[in-house]
Amino acid sequence: MRKSTLLFGFMLATALGAENVAEKAKYKRSEALNQIVYLDVPLRNFSSEKPELAKEFEEVKRRYAVALSFFFEDNFVESYKIFLDVQNSLEKLYEQLSLFYIDRTNVVLQQSVKEATEIEIRFNRRAPFATQKIGKKREAGVRNTIPDKKETKLEQRLYDPTDIHYLYDKKAMMDNIDYGYMQLGQAKVARQKAMDLEKWLEKGKAMPPTMKKSRIETYRAVIDLCRQAKINGIMVMQLNRIYDNYELQTKFKDNYFMREKRLDPVFDFAIPDEYVKDASDSRNAIHDHNERIMVKGEDPAKIAREDRKPIPKAQRFGTTAGGASDNKPKP
């Protein structure tokens, strides 16, 4: 009786342990999938700037697929081990990508500061633009109200009337720069705190998966802050070029996707070409896809098919030239 009780207890403990690993694998699978999905848009937009990160991302997706095959085989122990390995790779990817976003945001904000500084100097309230006078009392463009025997002509302005908007847009530009640098500063602090997490561990102790998850979420928040900061920096450039979009009314008047109230960056001539990709990315959109669909009129289904890269038969069936397949997923 005692032996049967011990045997039953051992079997129950084994079953509970197996269920625990299955739950861990299930949750780790969900975490990894969410983290991979988030990286898809940034690495598609900036694959040319960071080709090494795009290559690592493809390897991470391959490893995730292997872990998923073990998961569906109910081999939860092996799948959980590979999901942890995927998480370690994703952590490094997020760390490098967050640094790239900080550097990229710095470039955007520096350009916006350069443009705003020129405007602040040219259109200051003490500058000739705002204090232009003709004679002692009469301002430019104003008729003399003193009766005169001769007809008083309207004096020609010594400035471009289209520049008037700078007098009230100047404050909005400075506010956007202020918010942008505030968000960039928060992103730098958050990233540094995530990198310093090892300080809270005992010497020689490995970082647990829960802490790695927290670190990845912090890197993700850094990327979101940088995206918002870039939006503020790009807004400065848009305010500096508000008349550049007038030709939209004729060039894209029949385009279904062109909406002036919420203008997509692919149509916005007020955004410099080198920062259009950043504007699309800040909306979590793939710039190349939007340009091909909205501007060039390509079929979205065709683009989706191109994204699904065909796998050669030799690779699909695990065979090589002269080699046989063992029909087993490779870890």
265: DSSP letter: T
Q: In the chain, how many domains are there?
A: 1
The answer to whether residue 125 is domain-embedded is: no
pLDDT tens digits for 293-317? 888 888 888 888 877 766 565 554 4
The CA distances from residue 91 to 43, 94, 216, 318, in Å, are 15, 5, 6, 30
pLDDT digit of tens for each residue in the chain (331 aa)?
454 554 545 454 444 444 588 898 999 999 999 999 999 999 999 999 999 999 999 999 999 999 999 999 999 999 999 999 999 999 999 999 999 999 999 999 999 999 888 887 777 666 665 555 544 444 444 444 555 555 545 555 656 666 777 777 888 889 999 999 999 999 999 999 998 888 877 777 888 888 999 999 999 999 999 999 999 999 999 988 888 888 877 788 778 787 766 788 988 889 999 999 999 999 999 999 888 888 888 888 888 887 776 656 555 445 444 444 444 445 5
Tokens of 97: 């990508």
| Cβ partners under 8 Å of residue 31, min gap 6 | 87, 213
C-alpha distances in Å from residue 3, one per residue of 12, 15, 82, 163, 317: 14, 18, 37, 93, 49
Cα 235-121-240 angle, rounded to 5 deg:
25
| Residue 166 vs residues 100, 155, 197: alpha-carbon distances, Å | 33, 22, 46
Q: Is 285 within the bounds of a domain? A: yes
Is 299 within the bounds of a domain?
yes
Helix and strand totals (H; E) in the chain:
10, 2
Examine residue 36 and state whether it is found in any structural domain, yes or no: no
- Both tokens of 102, joined, read 């900080």
Query: 8: which 2 tokens?
Result: 């039953």
Asked if 113 and 232 count as a contact pair (C-beta separation under 8 A), the reply is no
Kindly state the tokens that stand for 63. 């490893």
Q: How far apart are CA 277 and CA 48, in angstroms?
A: 12
Instruction: Find, among 245, 240, 246, the residue nearest to 265 by Cα.
Output: 245
- Does residue 316 fall inside a structural domain? no
Asked whether residue 27 is domain-assigned, the answer is no
- What's the pTM? 0.79
The boundaries of the domain holding residue 263 are: 243-308
pLDDT digits (tens, 9 = 90+) for 172-209: 889 999 999 999 999 999 999 998 888 877 777 888 88
Distance CA 43, CA 96 (A): 12
- Identify whether 298 is part of a domain: yes
> Tokens 């003709």 correspond to what residue?
134
In a domain, 74, yes or no: no
